[in-house]
A and B are shown apart, each in its own frame.
Chain A
Amino acid sequence: MIREYRTTVEISGPLMFVENVEGVTYEELAEIELPDGTIRHGRVLEVNESMALVQLFEGSSGVGISQSVVRFLGKSVELGVSETMLGRVFDGQGRPRAPFDTFPPIVPDRMININGSPLNPYARDYPAEFIQTGLSSIDGINTLVRGQKLPVFSASGLPHSAVAAQIARQARVIGEGESFAVVFAALGITFEEADYFIRDFKSTGAMDRAVVFLNLADDPAIERIATPRLALTAAEYLAYQKDMHILVILTDMTNYCDALREISAARREVPGRRGYPGYLYTDLSTIYERAGRVKGRKGSITQIPILTMPEDDKTHPIPDLTGYITEGQLILNRELHKRGVYPPMDVMESLSRLKDKGIGKGKTREDHADLFNQLMAAYSAGKNARELAVILGTAALSPLDQQYLRFAEEYERRYISQGEGENRTIEETLDLGWELLKLLPREEMKRVRPEHLDKYWPAGEHS
């Protein structure tokens, strides 16, 4: 049943109020035809008796009250999916996106509601397979596992795109040649940034195994609400129907949240912190929780959302609520970046909550957990020593503190830092950790079990 109305009574921001409607349902997709024949899209945010409130994906500029024809399509927003999406570039509503993609639309295998349904927690399988990214600061310290959602908290001017592209390029599960694909969603980022990713995918041949959705900075902001959901719908199809392991990159989630705030403000809702709606947490969770593994299904969805922290502030609602949902966070640090450390990973504030079951014997190596604990303790002590040295001068430090200080410097220079093209194996990463620990007295290795210490640093040996 398609119903047409010319009864728009109010347009306010990205919202449109349509009167005297009948049979309209919540979340229904609407089509708005303008006098020149162009078609815009929207969805129903609220129905109250005979009044429908419609959110316009492309915004309301150029939409008039009297001439627009509104049609309700009797279905929710859907995405047509098929395996032929691989290698294609779509816009924020799922249509081929010129100039990146000039082919005809795909022939869908099926249509899927982009909102998905909640995955039953009972159907989840706990993520436990180690993904080697080739970056020591991730593999050794904040280990990523298959099915995890691990965001990158960045800030303006930091190399988060390079880090994400390097992960997408290098990520693999040791000893497996299973089918792997990347789903990439650009949310309000610039053409240049998007182009960087697409060129990187092309140059490494990854593009054939990628599905790209672009909503760029000059594309309609409200469309951004749907874009990550399109990407995840494609990802779920490929993962759970086509048995692929999917890495989803969503960048920049800050732009997504700002679009959500715009709608909330237009609806005059009571705002939560900093003007963001009170339901931001719930809304973000319906995106992030779509990562995971499902019992009895081969594929998986690993998510790396990227967000820029306004004013480098981790307590801003966007990073804050993200951190409360995701399974850890990788935090990029401006100070390290200034000192030329790439990736500028703040390993102390970063965290992978799922690493414990993804590391150790049979996954990485038996000494990994202890080595990790020891490296963290030593780096923390080294950073304390560095602070002390600032106040008292290096000479005033105890000999032990001086050793810790030196350790911290070397750790940043050799362990955290690596080349954009440098792909370290997990053994290389672990061995490097031991090598650096040997800058310290052996008695300081309190967090390492004696058997591991004896194996990787036999008593009496000094480097």
Chain B
Amino acid sequence: MTKGTIRKVAGPLVVAGGMAEARMYDVVYVSDMRLLGEIIEIKGDAASIQVYEETWGLGPGDRVYSTGEPLSLELGPGLLTSIYDGIQRPLDKVRERSGDWISRGINIPGLDHSRRWEFTPTATVGSAATGGDFLGSVPETATVEHRIMIPPGISGTLAWVAPAGSYTIDEVIAKVRTASGEEVDLRMYQKWPVRRARPVQKKMAPTEPLVTGQRVIDAFFPVGKGGTACVPGPFGSGKTVIQHQLAKWADAEIVVYVGCGERGNEMTDVLQEFPEILDPRSGKPLILRTVLVANTSNMPVAAREASVYTGMTIAEYFRDMGYSVALMADSTSRWAEAMREMSGRLEEMPGEEGYPAYLGTRIAEFYERAGKVHCLCSGEREGALTVVGAVSPAGGDLSDPVVQATLRVVKVFWSLQARLAYMRHFPAIGWLESYSLYTENLRDWYGKELDAGWTALRNGAIALLQEEANLQEIARLVGAESLSSEDQLTLFTARSIREDFLHQNAFHEVDTFCSMRKQVRLLGLIMSIHESLSRAIGAGASPKDLFSLPFRESVARARYVPENRLEEIDRILETAGSEIEGVLEQTARAGEGA
């Protein structure tokens, strides 16, 4: 073990001499308090170390001990339902050890090594075995089966596998004989360095949407399973609520939520809510499929930098089991700022706004770890890792370097508009500014799983909103009353799309989640009414009479119709139809009378 001596302490950066043998990204213990750190630069015999804990009280002469290993996670049963800090220290255990405030030098392994798990072998002795192949499984929670895999890089034949029974993660549960005849002991957990992407056989294009239950996303700007999306917006525009909504309702089998440099209370919120909320698909508490990584803004900045990688590595590990995983990172800007802070302390040449020149590369590498994949294994297995990152641009300005670097790599852009948030139109995703590059890829899925007319319906709605934007300019100048009847109808329906479909209250017990089936019906309702109105106007009916019909109120309430009574929405359509019919008859009678 390399031992060095501190020369310099400047905030989270410590420079130690006598480190000629150290390697980049090796983890070190700093001082006799054993504060964790990571080597981020080597010059001569001096290593610059980012320390994951507060550095007060450190000074020149204190010792530094290298572990000779990069920052790695323990991956195995026990990850789910956990809450970790940025370097996988379980925060519940940290609290047991150090009390309500986090003290320094607390080193607790990421997984519980004393807990016993029910292991059932699934692999056959004598068969060929390579990295990623299943050895057996453990019912980790009531909803998730944890599949124990051979770690990447090991192959040979399976020499032995433990019989069904209960084991700790330290017990050997299988042996693989490699080509060289050596026997490798395997346990229920493996270690993996956070900064290295876990290998896959092959990446593929997403072809299935991640259904989120959020109408504006699913209907207008969907993200594919295995895709990437970003949510930039000023403070208070709804980034966190969207991420929480996705973590709650998206049809992913595993959710990893990284609170990176954000508020403590937001993590508390998740911690208190997720055990209570039931997954609409499994009927079991959401927490059972969730892993939380919380390195809040007031926690050490270097560990914040690591937190997104910790989350990503855990997510990849579950993807390797063949699950569809969703990773939420709130906020990637805080990660970028942590990079900026360390880069500044290293006195590197700054790029834009003081961010390091490698900002774009790091962001691209991060999102590149998403994907729909053929998992590493000897057979066929598909997994998907969807990544959604919030971005918090300075002043809400999208020319921010982090936003720009992110937009270059992600395929979906949910643009949060302060204007909408002030009007309390939530989710404040601007329909004119946002985009999804997956809609084409997903077309087949929609055709198969939904109504064949879905894509046309959706495109019709978007077209109306675009037309509205143009008309509003004119309406502002001349007043809406002086527009043609057709244009007035466009404004009427566009408003209904905005208020009765896109607007979605995350805190309403019914509205918070909307199935695809319901989305089709709701949008269908609005667009069918639009057609009827259009016909009525064509036949000479007065827009005033039509627009004040009572169906408006029922349409506004349609989104509160519970999922198990969707036929009520069809009834609203019938009523609206007959009301419009009534106006038409009147018009006809008035015409005869004249």
Q: Residues of A with Cβ closer than 8 Å to B?
A: 23-28, 45-50, 76, 113, 115-127, 147, 240, 269-273, 278-279, 281-282, 285-286, 289-290, 292, 294-295, 297, 315-317, 320, 323-325, 327-329, 348-349, 351, 353-354, 356, 369, 373, 376-377, 380, 388, 391-392, 396, 398, 443, 446, 449-450
Contacts and interface: CB of A to CB of B under 8 A. Distances in A.
Given A122-B92, A282-B301, A391 B476 contact: yes
A351 B423 contact: no
A192 B35 CA distance: 47
Q: Which of B298, B301, B499 has the most CB of A within 10 A?
A: B298
B559 to A, nearest CB: 11
A443 B552 contact: yes
Contact of B423 (A50, A294, A348, A449): A348
B103 A278 contact: no
Nearest to A27: B56
Given A122-B92, A123-B95, A323-B234, 7 more contacts: A26-B11, A117-B103, A122-B91, A122-B94, A270-B344, A348-B423, A388-B479
Contacts of B56: 25-28, 76, 113, 115
B60 A281 contact: no
Given A25-B9, A46-B10, A446-B553, A126 B265 contact: yes
A411 B499 CA distance: 23
B354 A119 contact: no
Interface string B324-349: 00000000001001001100100000
A289 B298 contact: yes
A270 B346 CA distance: 11
B9 A47 contact: yes
Q: Which of B294, B299, B505, B556 has the most CB of A within 10 A?
A: B299
Interface string B462-488: 000000000000001101110000000
A277 to B, nearest CB: 8
A120 B94 contact: yes
Contacts of A373: 424, 505
B236 A329 contact: yes
B272 interface: yes
Contacts of B102: 117-120
Interface string B264-286: 11011101100000000000000
Interface stretch (B165-173, B389-397, B442-450, B579-587): B389-397
A446 B424 CA distance: 14
29 contacts: A24-B60, A25-B57, A26-B10, A26-B11, A27-B55, A28-B56, A46-B9, A47-B60, A76-B57, A115-B56, A120-B101, A121-B294, A122-B92, A123-B99, A124-B268, A269-B344, A271-B354, A273-B353, A279-B341, A281-B261, A281-B297, A282-B301, A285-B297, A315-B394, A315-B396, A328-B236, A356-B507, A369-B507, A446-B499
A289 B344 contact: no
Q: Which of A25, A328, A396 has the most CB of B within 10 A?
A: A25
Contact of B553 (A348, A353, A443): A443
B395 A327 contact: no
Interface string B490-523: 0000000001000001010000000000000000
Contacts, number: 209
B7 interface: yes
B83 interface: yes
Contacts of A290: 298
A144 B516 CA distance: 36
A46 B55 CA distance: 11
A289 B236 contact: no
Nearest to A323: B235
Contacts of A24: 59-60
A28 B60 CA distance: 13
A92 B201 CA distance: 62
A380 B271 CA distance: 34
B558 to A, nearest CB: 11
Interface of B: 7-11, 15, 54-61, 83, 91-92, 94-95, 98-103, 234-236, 259, 261, 263-265, 267-269, 271-272, 294, 296-301, 334, 337, 340-341, 344, 350, 353-354, 392, 394-397, 422-424, 476-477, 479-481, 499, 505, 507, 550, 552-553, 556-557, 560
B298 to A, nearest CB: 4
Nearest to A355: B507
A125 B9 CA distance: 35
A123 B337 contact: no
Nearest to B348: A270
A324 B395 CA distance: 10
Q: Which of A123, A269, A328, A446 has the most CB of B within 10 A?
A: A123
A286 B394 CA distance: 19
Q: Which of A26, A46, A119, A373 has the most CB of B within 10 A?
A: A26
A392 B8 CA distance: 68
A282 B236 contact: no
Given A49-B7, A278-B344, A369-B507, A122 B235 contact: no
Contacts of B92: 122
Given A27-B56, A116-B101, A315 B395 contact: yes
B139 to A, nearest CB: 25
Contacts of A278: 337, 340-341, 344, 354
A47 B7 CA distance: 8
A46 B296 contact: no
Contacts of A124: 264-265, 267-268
A120 B100 contact: yes
Nearest to A115: B56
A264 to B, nearest CB: 10
B95 A120 contact: yes
A292 B298 contact: no
B521 to A, nearest CB: 19
Contacts of A353: 236
B477 A391 contact: yes
Contacts of A116: 101
Contacts of A113: 56
B394 A273 contact: yes
A270 B261 CA distance: 21
Q: Which of A49, A117, A127, A240 has the most CB of B within 10 A?
A: A117
Contact of A324 (B61, B235, B553): B235
